[in-house]
Amino acid sequence: MSKSFVRTIKNVANGYTSAQVMVRNATSNEPHGPTIAQMADVANHTYESAEFLPIMDIIDKRMNDKGKNWRHVAKSLTLLDYLVRYGSNNVVIWSKDNLYVIKTLREFQHVDDSGTDQGVLIRVKAKELTALLQDEERLRQEREIAREKRGRRGGRRRGDDD
């Protein structure tokens, strides 16, 4: 509880935008999440051109976090994988431009205090995401499928409010 409280204070102190706060909550150090609802919220905001870069800034920071914060890295990869499918096309362009950030995580290592290798999850996620981004055809199909799914759910997009 206190941790999320500290995060709230940091959010205010560092002047993060509401979309950035969403990303920070979705990729926090808590053992659960990110939830689909959290990721969908962020995905919707990537369609706003003013919010896009601030969002990606936080994701970039989280992906480059140190080993102790491996949950930040793992969750931001999960989130980015979701955004690449459900977010705006700018996410795809950004991810391809910054592919090296993801690619170099394929050998991520972190052994925690109990001796467990927490890097496995990140290595697998990074490998999958890299493969997806390098496969133009599959990526197009995945985004097509995502668009249909979103359509069926009632299509919350650009500017729609809850």
Partner 1 sequence: MSRQEADLKVSIKKACSTEEAAPKRKHVRACIVFTWDHRSSKAFYNGLRLLPIQNDEIPLFKSLITIHKVLQEGHPSAIKEGIKNRDWIQSLGHVFPGDGMKRYGRLIREYDRYLIRKIDFHNSHKGFNGTFEYEEYVSLKTVSDPNEGYEAIMDLMVLQDSINDLQRLLFASVDSSSHSELKISALVPLVAESYGIFKFITSMLRGMCHSLGHEDEALQPLIERFISQYSDLYDFYAECSYVKYLTSLVNIPKLPLEAPDLFNWDETDELKLRLPVEEAPLQV
Q: How many chain residues are in contact with partner 1, going by CB under 8 A?
A: 20
Smallest gap from Cβ 100 to partner 1, in A, equals: 4
Please tell me whether residue 93 binds partner 1 under the rule CB under 8 A: no
Beta bridge partners of 117: 111
Question: Which residue is it, tokens 């409010």?
Answer: 161
Please tell me whether residue 28 binds partner 1 under the rule CB under 8 A: no
Taking the least distance from each CB to partner 1, the nearer of 88 and 130 is 130
Determine the residue type at 131. Answer: A
Taking the least distance from each CB to partner 1, the nearer of 103 and 150 is 103
Q: Which of 64, 89, 116, 141 is close enough to bind partner 1 by CB under 8 A?
A: 64
Smallest gap from Cβ 104 to partner 1, in A, equals: 5
Taking CA atoms, 26 is separated from 46, 49, 140, in Å, by: 15, 20, 26
Q: Which of 30, 57, 112, 117 is close enough to bind partner 1 by CB under 8 A?
A: 117
Please tell me whether residue 101 binds partner 1 under the rule CB under 8 A: yes
Please tell me whether residue 142 binds partner 1 under the rule CB under 8 A: no
Taking CA atoms, 76 is separated from 101, 107, 141, in Å, by: 12, 16, 23
Taking the least distance from each CB to partner 1, the nearer of 36 and 124 is 124
Please tell me whether residue 120 binds partner 1 under the rule CB under 8 A: yes
Q: Report the candidate in 73, 47, 70 with the shortest Cα–Cα distance to residue 61.
A: 73
User: What whole-number distance in Å separates Cα of residue 96 and Cα of residue 80?
Assistant: 12
Specify burial of residue 110 (Cβ count, 10 A radius: 0-12, 13-18, 19+). Answer: middle
Contact 85, 41 (CB under 8 A): no
Residues making contact with partner 1 (CB under 8 A) = 64, 66-67, 100-101, 103-105, 107-109, 117, 120, 123-124, 127-128, 130-131, 135
